[in-house]
Amino acid sequence: MTVRRPRRSALAIRDLAAEALAGLLQRPARSALTMLGTVIGTASLVAILGFTATSAGQISARFTVLSATEVTVTDAGAKVRTIDPVLDFPADADQRARAVNGVADAGRYWRVPLPPGTQVSARALPGARDAHTLDVYAVSPGALRAAHTPVVSGTLFDEFHERRGERVALLGVPAAAQLGVSRLDAQPAVFLGGRAYTVIGIVRTPERLPQAGLGVIVPATTALDGYGPPAPDDPAKMLVETRLGSAQVVAAQLPTALRPEAPQLLSVAAPPDPRSLRDTVAADVDSLFLLLAGLALVIGAVGIANTTLVSVMERAAEIGLRRALGARRRQIAAQFVTESAVLGLLGGLVGTSLGVLTVVLVALVREWTAVVDPLVVLASPVAGALVGLLAGAYPALRAASIEPVDALRG
């Protein structure tokens, strides 16, 4: 007579999934709150990667417009001037710069070295009540255009005023308010230490010369005739606006074009490459937000582990009964690990959906083209399931270590 050995208890994958789902549905509210951390972490991960791909073109365009079209030339020989006793920029520097291929406009500027105690007033009387200490800037017409100087009223001075050294001035909006100049129909004047300058325009802050919009602006030749060259510690500069993609080439050619006999007297500051600047900024921002997304996933994993551990303690009697009926340790562990993995998977699916939806909605509002990598969409729920799997490992081991006698006795 053959004695049959008792079959080992087995738990099919289908039964395992059913048991895990039943365990989660016993307390649906707690299960939903448990997977909230995974939802937030996965949604953040998908949204960040989606925003990176979507906004790459917009970031590149903004950096190109704002940064890659500006070149600054500085009078480096101001402290050791040997060739020109007045200024290392030649008199026709603006025209020479504009002749360089790729230059849209160019002009010189510097802060006028006023005598100590010089005040700006709208009245010729000495010690007038409206006298103020304001900065005065010498700016050529080309620099006004290159700086994109917006006019509130009146007009900008031009090459005619520059060539003749006319005593005209522009006031920034703050300076005009301090001096009480609001209308130009009566041809008001401002007085710089007793010298009258006719105000022909009131301007807002220039985009590329914001400091000039806070004071008084006079033509460069007028400032040279009246107050001499700029101070050595605050040298003259040239603002050059280039066409897109020309900044690096223009920067290399400008010193020779302006001073072919001594290009070393001029130093050029070219903008950084917009692509590398964009990539650097994007990488920094992405690193920060990916760190936050990872932190959210860790918090979600801790939440799943904590809830699963509490569930193990609450269901100790159930675990003991299953063990008494023949369930093996690994089957008990597999059940709780599966519950945690299902929580993570559901959280990953919901988070991925929210992340994709967020990217699409923002792109629609901003009129961008939404770009989401399919690999990210597919991998995010898997990452959520992996987080849940790892989070449920310790509670599952605790559940598997429960002895039937102790659980049923308790």
**Residue range 18-39, pLDDT digits in tens:** 666 666 666 677 677 667 767 8
Q: What tens digit of pLDDT does each residue of 185-243 get?
A: 888 999 987 789 999 999 999 988 999 999 999 999 999 999 988 888 889 999 999 98
What six digits make up the tokens of 205?
A: 């802050």
For the ranges 56-60, 378-382, 405-409, which has the lowest average pLDDT? Answer: 56-60
* pLDDT, average across residues 122-139: 77
Residue with the bigger pLDDT between 311 and 269: it is: 269
151: part of which helix (H) or strand (E)? Answer: strand 151-154
275: part of which helix (H) or strand (E)? Answer: helix 274-314
Longest dimension (CA), the chain: 131
Q: What tens digit of pLDDT does each residue of 231-279 get?
A: 888 899 999 999 877 888 899 999 999 999 888 889 998 776 555 555 6
Using 50, 70 and 90 to split pLDDT, how confident is the model at 1? very low
Answer whether 202's CB lies under 8 Å from 184's CB.
yes
Give pTM, 2 decimals. Answer: 0.55
Answer whether 145's CB lies under 8 Å from 107's CB.
yes
346: closest CA among 304, 307, 284, 375? 304
Q: Give residue 271's identity as a one-letter amino acid code.
A: P
Q: How many Å apart are CA 109 and CA 143, to the nearest integer?
A: 7
Q: What tens digit of pLDDT does each residue of 322-379 get?
A: 777 777 888 778 877 887 888 888 888 888 898 889 888 888 887 777 777 788 788 8
* % residues pLDDT > 90 (the chain): 29
* pLDDT for res 84: 47
Q: Give residue 21's identity as a one-letter amino acid code.
A: L
* pLDDT for res 153: 94
31: closest CA among 332, 346, 393? 346
Determine the angle formed by the axes of helices 274-314 and 329-366, rounding to 10 degrees. 140
* pLDDT for res 83: 45
Answer whether 290's CB lies under 8 Å from 48's CB.
yes
Dihedral Cα 328, 333, 334, 338, nearest 10 deg: 150
Q: How many Å apart are CA 144 and CA 150, to the nearest integer?
A: 9
Cβ contacts of 77-80, under 8 Å, gap ≥ 24: 77/262, 77/264, 77/265, 77/266, 78/229, 78/230, 78/232, 78/235, 78/236, 79/232, 79/233, 79/235
* pLDDT for res 20: 66
